[in-house]
Amino acid sequence: MPDFSALYLPARESDEPNPSRSGFESQEAAEEYIFAGMCGSCKQDRQAALDGVEMTEEMENQGIFPSLWPGCACEWVVVPTEKANGTFPEIMEAAGWKPVDFMDTLKEVAGEDDEQDESPTRVQG
């Protein structure tokens, strides 16, 4: 039978309890554990999203941002327990996140390709 873990990712002081838990029978059960532990504001945001509420300016002014995965939930990942003791990149990959090379992303956003411009650049001083 599959076994899932809900892993809390942010660093914490060594004397703080680790809220991560294992032994969930399904990914959904692990996610419900995460959602149950969210702050009141994030619970409100999630409920608004589940209810199909669309964002309005009034909601924004009240600090309500409908989201299925509000801020508190984004501090967690759910993985099969057998993968929970891997390295950080292995855990993130097991959770479905694709590793991204930051420099490649910057180049893509800037519209640069891999070829370097061979012309010298001179800085006027």
Interval 33-49: pLDDT, tens: 999 999 999 999 999 99
CA angle 27, 2, 50 (to 5 degrees): 15
Length of the chain: 125
Whether the predicted model's global pTM rises above the 0.75 cut: no
pLDDT of the chain, 125 residues: tens digit per residue = 669 999 998 877 888 888 999 999 999 999 999 999 999 999 999 999 999 988 888 888 888 888 999 988 989 999 999 999 888 888 888 888 877 777 877 888 888 655 554 444 444 44
**3-class secondary structure, 23:** strand
Half-sphere exposure of 105 (CA within 13 A, CB side): 5
**Closest by Cα among 2, 6, 59, 48 to 25:** 2
Distance of CA 40 to the CA centre of its chain: 19
Question: Domain boundaries in the chain?
Answer: 4-110
Measured CA to CA in angstroms, residue 107 lies from 56, 71, 97, 114, 123 at distances of: 35, 28, 21, 8, 22
Give dist(CA 66, CA 53) in Å, integer: 7
